[in-house]
Structure formats: structure tokens, C-alpha cells
Structure 1
Amino acid sequence: MNVSSRAPKRKLPLEIKTKIPCRWRDGLYYEAEIIDAQPALDGTYSYYIHYVEFDRRLDEWVDQDKLDVEGQQLVSVMSPSNPGTPQNPEGSERRSRKSRGPGVGEDEKLDPDMEAFEKKREEETKIKNFNRVLFGKWDIEVWYYSPFSEQIMKDHRTLIVCEWCLKYMRKARTLHSHLKICRRRKPPGTCIYNHGPLSVFEVDGSQHHLYCQCLCLLAKLFLDHKTLYFDVEPFLFYVLTESDEEGCHVVGYFSKEKLSLEDHNVACILTLPPWQKHGYGRALIQFSYELTKKEGKSGSPERPLSDLGKVSYFSYWKYVLVRLMWDQRETSVKRLTQLTGIKYDDVNSVLSHLGFLRYYRGEFQAWVSDDVLEEYVNKLPEPKVTIDPSKIQWTPPPPPKKRDLWKARAERDG
């Protein structure tokens, strides 16, 4: 249901932080806040606006004629029962107040220092430095600010990135010249998975420093909370590609710390927008847990997760745990953790959210009636892309030495 109201007439030019209706691509008007303004050649202004209560990825520069300065339009306010407008290719962008599972969909509370850091980061990155990125055959709308050099950003709203080596540039003719000498047609590092058109390359940040930096800067255009840009040496990057006669096209990736004190099996994870909603994000999550199982551990992604990340992880955890419970029937949370590599707390919270948890004889048990479990199993959508664990050619690294753990703890604790 839509609730509508009229806005008052505004004086021009509009001041920063003014809230005013703005016409979205669906033709409706939504409340927006003025973040910045620039004079236009025709004597009017262009305004950088944020749609109130929607994700920052929708922030954009608009001409003055999109704003209801006369106060004539009705403001569309989306109710929770109809959250799908405005939309971009990812669907609803309204900030959800509802939980998608304990520990998964709830707003993660930050300590005061982190909260102050987050506010500072949002202020510094409130305006996107690019509108679009040209990546191979794709012209992709940018979601967030990324800290590229001032030289590459100067007077250019479109970023150009070589899809093979990930080097970035400002001009199409530079890319044309670059492609004549760029010999890379797949990511550097070691191919540890190959099955059909899909491959995964393990890339060490300390050995392929420039490639990993460029990958992080590209990823930041689509990740709001990512802070890893330049210090890539402590990380391994797992790059998923889809191959054709040209080469191995980067679809997405995840990174993980070589030494994680909190057993994080993913630091950052991203499927590039042209490949989203095709099952690749879930495949990346599955791959991260296949590596975790090979290590004989359980793991969990670093928080905070993005809204899309929360949905993707909860969906994966639910699918894996419900299917395994159908095969195992009554089993403990501890056993599910051992079989899946999913951290105990994540298993516990998902099963609790589903109502599949009971405490019996000193431990949490996964339990639900056969009829209810069968109903859940039948409703589970089958994944579009799956990883075949038998095709993974990877040996876990040796466990860290105690002095390395002590050093890492000292660096973490400051």
C-alpha cells in the first residue's frame, strides 16, 4: 500500500540537507535528501540526492527538473507490505527493519569506537566518485564510492577497467592501446577448481599485489562496508571465473585472512552485478565452506554483512542444514557443525529461527517432526550453480606457529 502526501514549495537553490520529493525511474516521487549541489550550464543546479530510507547504492546526481520544487507532487511512501519500489536490478533496496534470522538479518550493533568510525566513513564516502564502470562488454552502474586516485577521478564520471588484468584507466583509447599489449586472459595464481566453464583461482595478495589491489578497488564500487583496499598481503583471494573462447571472465570472488583469530572463512565476498541472481554468489559461499571442511574447521563470514549478504548466507545455511537434517534426522548442533563447516553459533541461530532446536541431555539438538521437515525440504529451491567438491584441487596450508598467533593477537589488540 502507498501512502501519499504533498511537499511544500521550495526556494532555489536548494540548501544541503533539504528534504524534497524526487522523481524515480518508475515515475513516482520519493522523499530525498540533498547531499551536494553543482551549478549547471543552463543556470539551474544539479543535485546529489539520497532517497530517504533506501540503501546508499541508489544515491545519484539528478537535474533540477526531477525535483518537486513547486510542491505539486504526491510523495510515495512504501509500506512494509509492498517494499519493492524503487528498484534497481537487485530488486528492493529499502533498508529492512525485519530480521532474516537471529545473528543474520538483525542490525548488528557497533561499539562506540566502531560507530564513530562508521559515521566518519559514511561522511567521507557519501558521494560516489563514478557513475558507471566499463568492464569488458558490460556498462555497470556504480553503487558506492571507491578510493581511486585523484588523478583517475578527475573530470571523469565513467571508470574503465580491463577485465583481464583489472588495471583501471580514464579513456577508451587508453583501453584500446592497453588491450594490444595485455596478455593476461585469466587471473594470476593457481587454478584450484575447474568444472565445465567455471574455474576458481587462488591468488596470494603478497605475490600478486597489484592485481589484488585493483580487485579490491573494483569491488568497493559495489560494497558499502569494505575497508580492505591496499593492505592485501595478509589475504588470499579466490576468484571465480566463467570461461569462453576469449578467456576466463571474472564473475566474483571472496577473500580470507591467511591467519584469522576468529575463524573467519570469508573477509569480503562479491558477485559482480552482471552475474548476480544467477547462483554464483551461493556458489562462492559453498566454495568457502568446502575449503573450511578440508581444513577440518568450522568458519563464519566477517561481519557486518551487507543486506544482500545476509539474505544469501541465511538462504545457504538454511538449505544445507535442512537437507542434512532430512538425511540425518535427529542430530546435534555440534554434529551439524562438523559435517557442514558452518560455525556452531550460526547453526544454532538458524535452527532457532526455524523452530528446529531443543535442549536435550546437556546439548542443543536439531529436532523437528518428519512432516514439518518434509514440507521445508519440498519448498527449498534447488541451487542454480553448485560446486563439485571432488573437483577442488587444494591442500590446506600448515597450521600457524604459536609465535605467529601471538604476534597476530598483539597486532589485533593494539
Structure 2
Amino acid sequence: MQTKRLKLSEPLQLFENEDLETGIAYYVKRFNGVNDEKLVATLVEIRDVCDAGLQKNRDEKKEQNLVMPGTQMEKIVTTNGDVLSEEKRHKLYYIHYEGMDRRMDEWVERERFIEKAPAGAVLITPEVLAATGNSNADAKPQMTGALTRSQRRIHEEFHHMQKSYDDMDAYTAKLEKEHEQRTKVKNIDRVVFGRTDIQTWYFSPYPKECHNIERLYVCEYCLAYTPIREQFACHVRHTCTQTRPPGQEIYRNDDITIYEVSGVNDKIYCQSLCLLSKLFMDHKTLYYDVQTFMFYILCEIDRSGSHLVGHFSKEQLSENNLACIMILPPFQRKGYGKLLIQLSYELSNRERWIGTPEKPLSDMGKVSYRSYWWWILIDAMEQVKDDTISATELSHLTKIAVEDIVSTLQTMCMVKYWKGQYIVRTNKRLVEHCKSSNIGKPPKVLLDTRMVKWEPTVRRDQLNGGVAWEIPGAISSR
């Protein structure tokens, strides 16, 4: 759709005096770090806040001393107990940018709204605005260039692509809409965790006293939480004696360590971990029923202790070797996610089980897993002497489930169904093409399996008449 440009002669004052309505799409200014962009956003909620302490950061997500009371409050009270008059009340607007992940949703001020958007308007490429807030007639949309079909497949494989309701089946779309309605507004703006102050992404079902607050304070060791800064400071200085997660340390390599924590033995800690994780995960549903899960906590080590940076959970005796995975935003893009994925497969290997992550994968989870699967599969296919191999044989070589192999290799048309089984093309020319396409790169952080101090209490091949299989050393030792 062609972007409608505002004429410089159009009076914006008329629109600025209009009342904004929830559920209506508007053109909104957003700062991308370099320029102002004009994007389509739907107004989700309107709230009164107090002007006291408000720092007007027009377009950047900086720290704000905001008080965001619930919509049912008749009075607005400052931190020192003064009741503000009607003149001192200030409105903020919660918006969702169409075509973008909900973690980009934010509270904005009235001046960010440009005009109503026409029905069905979605801007795939944002229009760059002049500093005045009007459209620049000379500005051109940012173009990424035409992609070949092969390049487009690879791009979608390794980049976060938000799925629309039209791309889902009717039942999934219904569930997605219900979930979005329940969690449409973030209830916590920022979380102070250890030495980091993090902008949250999504709604999390913390107790009501923690809703609609500027900051939630969470202890990085025991995960106790409070919305009151003074209580948090007292807890850190005088109450909390922990310097690491509970449970058993099962991996340590240089300044990285991983602990195994039981949902039965450390129920409160695991519940608090799930609540914290939900602030950065859109579709996490496990909050309180943690007794059947094990949690693997990844930490960075220094002299003061083990500092949590991420984790994955795993349901005991499930066919899935991973249920949920989360890396805190300040520690993303360091290879920690793939390190945890490697560990999940190492654990299922030791259980004598070909594991698979719980489905469906989130959009970001799919990107991480596909990258990992390509790395393992390409390395294994380079060792295959023939031009073809069955997906079942490749599964036993790599310890990746057949369904994951098929879904991964279909992107490059490397698998076909023939005589009741899937056949994978492994000729050297095709494998080299995949490597030259910059897929299958090794993770930034490799798991040293010699450092994994863990053995299963029960092997899967000894349950339900299962069949044991060999673990080829050249591949499983990664």
C-alpha cells in the first residue's frame, strides 16, 4: 500500500484537538535511533498519570518517573502523598505497532499521533519523517532490495518474522486473540535485576500489588520481588544470604556455570523464575505448576557470586528435551541461547533419547533452533559418503528428531518423501551451497561435554520397552 504523505499545508491543529479512541489505528511517530518513523499503530488503552516527575522523552525509551495508576482510581497521589488537582493530570496512550512484535508496544504522549490511518493500513517499510513531525516530501522509504526466492527462504529461516492471524488455522488464531486480549497491556514497565535495569517486553501475572508500576525490583539470587525500592535495598543488604541459584551445579567452564534446579525441591524459586521469564516471553503459560519440571539456570560468575542470565525448563519424562527457554535481553546475542540448546540435547543423549523441543516454537525460538539444527545437520551430511541418506538414519547420527530434520531441510528443498520414508539429499555440491549461504555457522559458545557433570537417574531406553541406540562419538561429543 502506498504511504499517504501529509501535505505541508495541511493544518495538524484540527487533528490534535480530536479525542483519540481505543481500537482505532493511527499514524504515530516512532524514533528508531536515527530518524523519526511514521508507523501504523492501534490505540489499546488510555490512562491518566501525574505530571510530577515526568521526563518527556519524546521518542526514546529512557527511564521515566511515571506513576501509572489503574483506570478505576479517582484520585492521583504523588509519592509524598499530595493529591493532584485535575489540571495536573496527564494522559498517556498505550499503542501496538501493526506488523511488529508486541514487545515493541509502548506508552506514548499525545504529540506522537499524526493522523488517523485508513482502514487496513499496514506499513511494511516505515516512512522517515522530518524533524518537524510532518512528512518529508523528499524522503524515500528504506528499501532492502529485491530478494530471490532462495534468499527469501533463507531470510525467513533465520530472522524473526511475526505471524499474522491469516497465516494460522482458525483454532490457533482464536487462542492467539484470546491470549492477546488478556495480556494486551504490559503491567510492569521496567525490572531492576541485579546490576541491570531492563525494559520489559510483555505482561506477566505477578500479584496485583506489582501491577501498573514503573519498576519491579527482583533479587538476582533468590528472585524475591517487590515494587518498593527501600524494601529491595534492605533485602539485598541484610536479608538475602544466597550468592547462587539453589540446586546442583552441573556445568562450569571459565566464567560460565549451569545449575539444575528441581521444581519440587525449590518450588518458590522456580515460580518466581517463571514470572520473571514471562516479562520477556509472549507465550509462556507455566507459572505456578512447576513440580514436574526441572530448570537449568545459566549464570555468569564473578567474585560476588553466580549471576543469572538465562535458563531453560524441561518436563520430566516427557518426549521433549526442552519446554521453555529464555535469555535476559542484556545478555542476548552472546551465544547463550544456543549453549542451552546444546545442553538440552546433551542431556537427552545421555538419557538415550532422541529429544525435540516442545511445539509450537515461538518465532524467536524457531530462529535459534533452525540455526542450531543447520549447524549439526551440515556437519553430519559432510561425513556421509553417499548422495542420499534417510531422515531416520540422519536422526540417529545427529540425535535430532526426524520431524525437525524434515522441517529444516525443506527450506532448501533437500528432502523428499519416497516409498514410505523421507530421503535427504547430501551430495557435496548441495552441502557446499548451504555453507556458502552463511547457514550452519557454529555457535559463539560451544558446550564442552567433558564439563557436564550429570547422569540420568533412569535411562529412557529402559522404560516402556524402549530400544537403546549407539551414540556416535564424533557427533555426540560436540
TM-score norm. by structure 2 comes to 0.73
Alpha-carbon contact 1:32-1:49 (below 8 Å) kept: yes
Alpha-carbon contact 1:241-1:251 (below 8 Å) kept: yes
1:258 to 311, 316, 331: 316
Match of 2:112 in 1: 66
2:424 to 360, 366, 372: 366
Q: What pairs with 1:103-142 in structure 2 (closer than 5 Å)?
A: 109=168, 112=171, 115-142=173-200
Deviations 1:231-260 (A, max 9, x none): 100101111111111111111111011132
Whole-angstrom distance in 1 between the partners of 2:334 and 2:379? 21
Q: Which residues of structure 1 form unaligned runs of 5+?
A: 85-95, 404-414
Alpha-carbon contact 2:320-2:357 (below 8 Å) kept: yes
How big is the shift at 1:361? Answer: 6.9
How big is the shift at 1:6? Answer: 4.1
Match of 1:39 in 2: 48
Whole-angstrom distance in 1 between the partners of 2:289 and 2:186? 22
Match of 1:151 in 2: 209
Match of 1:23 in 2: 29
How big is the shift at 1:392? Answer: 1.1
How big is the shift at 1:109? Answer: 4.2
Deviations 1:338-374 (A, max 9, x none): 2322111111221222222255676433323313323
Match of 2:454 in 1: 394
Alpha-carbon contact 1:326-1:377 (below 8 Å) kept: no
Whole-angstrom distance in 2 between the partners of 1:36 and 1:296? 51
Q: What pairs with 1:272-283 in structure 2 (closer than 5 Å)?
A: 272-283=328-339
Q: How many residues align?
A: 381
After superposition, the Cα gap between the structure-2 partners of 1:12 and 1:311, relative to the gap in structure 1 and judged at 3 Å, is same
Deviations 1:150-208 (A, max 9, x none): 1222x522111111111111122212111122111111111111111111111110110
Whole-angstrom distance in 2 between the partners of 1:143 and 1:109? 23
Match of 2:20 in 1: 14
Q: What pairs with 1:67-82 in structure 2 (closer than 5 Å)?
A: 67-69=113-115, 77-79=123-125
Whole-angstrom distance in 2 between the partners of 1:82 and 1:202? 46
Q: What pairs with 1:272-311 in structure 2 (closer than 5 Å)?
A: 272-311=328-367
Match of 2:374 in 1: 318
After superposition, the Cα gap between the structure-2 partners of 1:212 and 1:110, relative to the gap in structure 1 and judged at 3 Å, is farther
Deviations 1:276-316 (A, max 9, x none): 01111111111111111111111221122222111111111
Q: What pairs with 1:48-59 in structure 2 (closer than 5 Å)?
A: 48-59=94-105
Alpha-carbon contact 1:105-1:310 (below 8 Å) kept: no
Q: What pairs with 1:196-345 in structure 2 (closer than 5 Å)?
A: 196-260=254-318, 263-330=319-386, 331-345=389-403
Whole-angstrom distance in 2 between the partners of 1:355 and 1:225? 30
After superposition, the Cα gap between the structure-2 partners of 1:329 and 1:285, relative to the gap in structure 1 and judged at 3 Å, is farther
How big is the shift at 1:44? Answer: 5.4
After superposition, the Cα gap between the structure-2 partners of 1:43 and 1:152, relative to the gap in structure 1 and judged at 3 Å, is closer
Q: Classify the secondary structure of the residue corresponding to 2:294.
A: strand
After superposition, the Cα gap between the structure-2 partners of 1:137 and 1:229, relative to the gap in structure 1 and judged at 3 Å, is same
Whole-angstrom distance in 1 between the partners of 2:186 and 2:420? 52
How big is the shift at 1:50? Answer: 0.6
How big is the shift at 1:402? Answer: 8.1
Whole-angstrom distance in 1 between the partners of 2:463 and 2:372? 34
Counterpart amino acid of 1:327? Q
Q: Classify the secondary structure of the residue corresponding to 1:24.
A: strand
Rg comparison, structure with higher value: 2
After superposition, the Cα gap between the structure-2 partners of 1:20 and 1:44, relative to the gap in structure 1 and judged at 3 Å, is farther
Range with greater deviation from structure 2 (389-398 or 127-136): 389-398
Match of 1:168 in 2: 225
Whole-angstrom distance in 2 between the partners of 1:389 and 1:218? 29
Whole-angstrom distance in 2 between the partners of 1:355 and 1:126? 38
Match of 2:473 in 1: none
How big is the shift at 1:99? Answer: 5.2
Q: Which residues of structure 2 form unaligned runs of 5+?
A: 7-11, 52-87, 127-140, 145-152, 465-478
Range with greater deviation from structure 2 (250-259 or 75-84): 75-84
Whole-angstrom distance in 1 between the partners of 2:445 and 2:326? 16
Match of 1:383 in 2: 443
After superposition, the Cα gap between the structure-2 partners of 1:146 and 1:343, relative to the gap in structure 1 and judged at 3 Å, is same
After superposition, the Cα gap between the structure-2 partners of 1:12 and 1:329, relative to the gap in structure 1 and judged at 3 Å, is farther
Q: Classify the secondary structure of the residue corresponding to 1:100.
A: helix
Whole-angstrom distance in 2 between the partners of 1:278 and 1:298? 27
TM-score norm. by structure 1 comes to 0.84
After superposition, the Cα gap between the structure-2 partners of 1:111 and 1:4, relative to the gap in structure 1 and judged at 3 Å, is closer
Counterpart amino acid of 1:4? T
